[in-house]
């Protein structure tokens, strides 16, 4: 990464020269009239600074040109075709034309009688990055998903048939292959080393405009909760990314690919300066496992982690919001066997700090099933270490949803919600069989409960670490709360269990 550092130094010098020029201009505009000799001195200084600034601008232009040339030759167009069934192609009720004209009419004029459905080919365009001279290509899963036919067009306009080597929907990574040799392939960089503010280019095929290069900076790193994939650690960039760019390259000014362009955030469908790319380190790891095993296996703790906000930190008497709060531990799972408990805060994994629940999930997933890991916990103000043998993450876990609202029993004006004791009948209806607690039956708009996103059908199991079995328990737990206090509620929603911090007004 030597040239990246050099580019940064040169950019600082460039900006310094520009700012110096602006300062000289401002001082000149606000100063008293100059004598002829003073004006001559100023002109000499200006004429000597201009070539220096032009030289720096040319160096920046050269850097972009070189990087674009290196990356573009390894970026390909991927055409996906999918055959789908289309019902009622004439837009009429079933057999309407057949009943009126008869089958002979259609056989004579159209070659076949009308049908209830017909096959139609749907085509889409994406991008990919050649990563080996023999035609291995890295792209997004959503570019090739459900495709019946894949075609790849490389820079010389030659078209190849492609086959899928493997896909990983949880990260939106896919690997495909064409039968070719001596292809130009990309140099893959190290996405862990990229910096916010660093210049980058995006290369792809937006709107069928082949090999389009756009430029921008790294806007942010480690973006999660974007809703694009199960495992998210996106690089955010303002380099223009549009439909067709998916699977293309995000590269630094050395021409090293540091990410795979994946999606944009846009209300209109076009670029507004918020694009996301899968870090190349994550993509490389997934690609290697897909090519060697044909599938992905991930480590698993079998617990529900969640982020810690300021209200929760205050309610649980935590020193800050760092770490992942354990909302629930599955009995008999790897975490349970290691002694991890509900309410613990996971601070470290194998000696490396954990900032939030997404980072914990991603880091655990990168470790293979059966791996032994060291986990640093915060429990009741004490830091402890436990060892865990990771399990294998199961596929297709079902997500629950809240059920119908139940009749009100008691109202907590402090929290802005109504609850009733969980009965066996209600537990059966809501899927809480064997649980204890109070069920939320109503939430007051604009209340602390509403701001914490509590919903009808949620089951409150604890208040400030105290177990709640009935409405009476709940009322006692919230009775002593006063304005400014924060209540930590342990909540179950469907199969998910999590903590919520509610600020009392």
Q: Which residues are catalytic?
A: 142, 172, 246
**Dist. CA 420–CA 441, nearest whole Å:** 7
Where residue 230 falls (left for φ over 0; alpha for ψ -120 to 50; beta otherwise) is alpha
H/E stretch holding 8 reads helix 2-30
- CA 377 vs CA 343, 345, 491: distances in Å: 10, 6, 22
**Dist. CA 440–CA 450, nearest whole Å:** 11
**Dist. CA 222–CA 225, nearest whole Å:** 10
DSSP states of 380-443 as a string? Answer: TTEEEEEEEE-EEPPS--------------EEETTTTEEEEEPPHHHHHHHT-TT--SEEEEEE
CB 341 within 8 A of CB 335: no
Q: Pick from 318, 305, 310, 309: which is nearest to 357 by CA?
A: 305
CB 71 within 8 A of CB 257: yes
Start-end of H helices in 31-174: 36-72, 96-101, 103-109, 141-144
CB neighbours of residue 56 within 10 Å: 18
Supply 235's token pair: 């690089």
H/E stretch holding 200 reads strand 199-204
Supply 344's token pair: 């613990």
């Amino acid at each position: 990464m030597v040239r990246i550092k050099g580019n940064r130094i040169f950019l600082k010098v460039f900006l310094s020269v520009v700012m110096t020029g602006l300062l000289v201009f401002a001082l000149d505009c606000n100063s008293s009239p100059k004598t002829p000799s003073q004006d001559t001195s100023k002109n000499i200084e200006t004429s000597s600074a201009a070539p220096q600034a032009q030289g720096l601008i040319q160096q920046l232009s050269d850097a972009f040109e070189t990087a674009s040339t290196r990356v573009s030759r390894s970026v390909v167009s991927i055409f996906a075709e999918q055959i789908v069934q289309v019902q009622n192609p004439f837009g009429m009720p079933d057999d309407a034309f057949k009943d009126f004209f008869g089958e002979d009419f259609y056989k004579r004029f159209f070659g076949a009688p009308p049908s209830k459905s017909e096959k139609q080919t749907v085509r889409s365009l994406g991008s990919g990055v050649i990563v080996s001279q023999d035609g291995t290509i890295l792209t997004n899963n959503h570019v090739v998903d459900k495709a019946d036919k894949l075609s790849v067009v490389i820079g010389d306009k030659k078209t190849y048939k492609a086959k899928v080597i493997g896909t990983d929907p949880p990260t939106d990574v896919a690997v495909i292959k064409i039968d070719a040799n001596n292809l130009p392939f990309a140099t893959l960089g190290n996405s862990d080393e990229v910096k916010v503010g660093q210049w980058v280019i995006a290369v792809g095929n937006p709107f069928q405009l082949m090999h389009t290069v756009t430029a921008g900076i790294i806007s942010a790193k480690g973006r999660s909760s974007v809703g694009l994939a199960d495992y998210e650690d996106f690089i955010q960039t303002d380099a223009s990314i549009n439909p067709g760019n998916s699977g293309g390259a995000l590269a630094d000014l050395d021409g090293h690919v540091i990410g795979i362009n994946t999606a944009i955030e846009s209300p209109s469908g076009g670029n507004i300066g918020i694009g996301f790319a899968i870090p190349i380190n994550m993509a490389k790891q997934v690609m290697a496992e897909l090519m060697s095993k044909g599938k992905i296996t991930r480590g698993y703790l079998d617990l529900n982690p969640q982020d810690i906000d300021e209200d929760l930190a205050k309610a649980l008497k935590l020193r800050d919001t760092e770490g992942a709060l354990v909302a629930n531990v599955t009995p008999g799972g790897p975490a349970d066997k290691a002694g991890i408990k509900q309410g613990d805060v996971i601070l470290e994994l194998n000696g490396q700090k954990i900032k939030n629940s997404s980072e914990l999930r991603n880091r655990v997933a990168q470790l293979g099933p059966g791996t032994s890991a060291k986990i640093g916990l915060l429990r009741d103000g004490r830091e402890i270490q436990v060892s865990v043998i990771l399990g294998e993450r199961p596929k297709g876990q079902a997500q629950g949803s809240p059920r119908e609202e139940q009749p009100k029993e008691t109202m907590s004006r402090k929290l802005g919600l109504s609850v009733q004791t969980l009965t066996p009948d209600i537990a059966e209806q809501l899927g809480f069989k064997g649980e204890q607690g109070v069920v939320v039956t109503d939430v007051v708009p604009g209340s602390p409960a509403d701001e914490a996103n509590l919903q009808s059908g949620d089951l409150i199991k604890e208040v400030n670490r105290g177990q709640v079995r009935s409405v009476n328990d709940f009322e006692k737990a919230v009775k002593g709360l006063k304005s400014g206090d924060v209540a930590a509620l342990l909540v179950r929603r469907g199969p998910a269990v999590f903590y919520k911090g509610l600020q009392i007004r």
